[in-house]
Structure 1
């Protein structure tokens, strides 16, 4: 497949998977899927951590160095990119556009059999905006990986994004339906969220197509920072709320091991270039 076909395939996969998962709670009870949702969330933490630490950070540094770097006198641009990726999501959450705004509804619905939690007006819109910002950051990560034109970088990052995006889409669908009590408006919320990642994949891939490798490396490192934020600040605390330390450890380790298994498989079949 040529590059455009690969990008379009990834775009369709991210859009359809999020749309399908987001629509599930519009027709099914949330309590029926909570166990699966929590397992996926725990695995997502491991996926994101492993993707950031084993793929995005080392490969991002390597690509950045091969591209000749970017001139900054006092601050290493590569490290700054990771930090900015982390801090940007922190700033968005500080202004109320977070990733966990809907979690109390899940907990209440599970414990009491209904989702009647009083939220301030406009909270559904804030939830959509917050999750859409996260989805856009995911699109940047995948787009940067595609721009690097290395399957062994793209595939683990794509898997990490999907494992995180699917429970997020389900959560958004459930929360929007509860808050709006209007299936059509909830479907619009899900469509907006689902379209954010594909849109930013295309934008990032297009913008990075004619730049030096150094900038592609910085984009990947920026994405690594956002992955670390989502995994450690958003996902792991949520997993801890609903399971014992051993349970959390198991889920996160299984997620990380899954990424390692993918890396080993790609190495065995010759998809990893050991010398850049």
Structure 2
């Protein structure tokens, strides 16, 4: 399969998944908070495993294969840059932890350390910005020419987009109480990643594997931030800590099963 076709398919899957997941609460109304927490925890586990088992190892391998003498600070710096970017966005009100925003908006569960945006627009804009980094991860993975990397990264990203889109549907309907406005919010979020997938693929298609590897490492840093911040509030809470841990472990197990499946199918190749 040609790389362009891969990019288009993954962009289409990301768009479709986000629209379906976000459309459910818009069309069906209020959803179980427990279900939302479970989806978020499992998705965080999938994303965490995607970062530690795919994005970071493959990013290192690609970078070193292109430039064996590269200073390790470049690689570590790319990871830190991704993590810090997410932290900066969070600090300036463009947070991605919408499930916590909505949860705390209605109930005081002692999560006073979580930043709360004042309106739905800032929440949707923040999540859409985060979705742009998701698209970068998939686009860079496709540009690497390694089908296994692209598939594994896409699984992690798309798994995380499901609860994010679901939460946008809930939050937007709650704040706006307008179905048409909620669909507009969801569409803005849904198209962000596909656009960046294609842009990243096109822009990185003709560059050295060193820069593709660094882009994947940068994405790995964003994955680490998002995955940990998603579940930390629940892990720190005595009533939800063990359940949140279980959800993350389930997510990690799912990702490992996916990787084993890719390995057995012969799709995983480490010949960079």
**TM-score of the two chains, using structure 1 as the length reference:** 0.88
2:76 is equivalent to residue 79 of structure 1: yes
8 Å Cα contact 2:45-2:250 kept in structure 1: yes
Q: Which runs of 4+ in 1 moved over 4 A?
A: 69-72, 107-111
Deviates more, 1:184-193 or 1:243-252: 243-252
What is the aligned partner in structure 2 of residue 254 from structure 1? 250
What is the aligned partner in structure 1 of residue 55 from structure 2? 56
1:230 to 226, 231, 237: 226
Distance in 1 of aligned mates of 2:5 and 2:172: 34
Q: C-alpha offsets along residues 88-122 of structure 1, whole Å, 9 cap, x if unaligned?
A: 010011111101255353366699xxxxxxx886x
Secondary structure at 1:97's aligned position in 2? coil
Alignment of 1:67-146 (within 5 A): 67-68=66-67, 76-101=73-98, 103-106=100-103, 123-146=119-142
Q: Structure 1 69/214 Cα, relative in aligned 2: closer, same or farther at 3 Å?
A: farther
Distance in 2 of aligned mates of 1:70 and 1:34: 50
Q: CA RMSD in A?
A: 2.2
> What is the aligned length?
264
Distance in 1 of aligned mates of 2:238 and 2:17: 25
Distance in 1 of aligned mates of 2:102 and 2:221: 28
Distance in 2 of aligned mates of 1:11 and 1:272: 21
**TM-score of the two chains, using structure 2 as the length reference:** 0.90
Distance in 2 of aligned mates of 1:183 and 1:29: 10
* Structure 1 unmatched runs, 5+: 112-118
Q: C-alpha offsets along residues 163-191 of structure 1, whole Å, 9 cap, x if unaligned?
A: 11111111111111111122111111110
Deviation at 1:57, TM superposition (A): 0.7
What is the aligned partner in structure 2 of residue 116 from structure 1? none
2:241 to 245, 249, 252: 245
Q: Structure 1 70/223 Cα, relative in aligned 2: closer, same or farther at 3 Å?
A: farther
Deviation at 1:2, TM superposition (A): 2.0
* Structure 2 unmatched runs, 5+: 109-115
What is the aligned partner in structure 1 of residue 42 from structure 2? 43
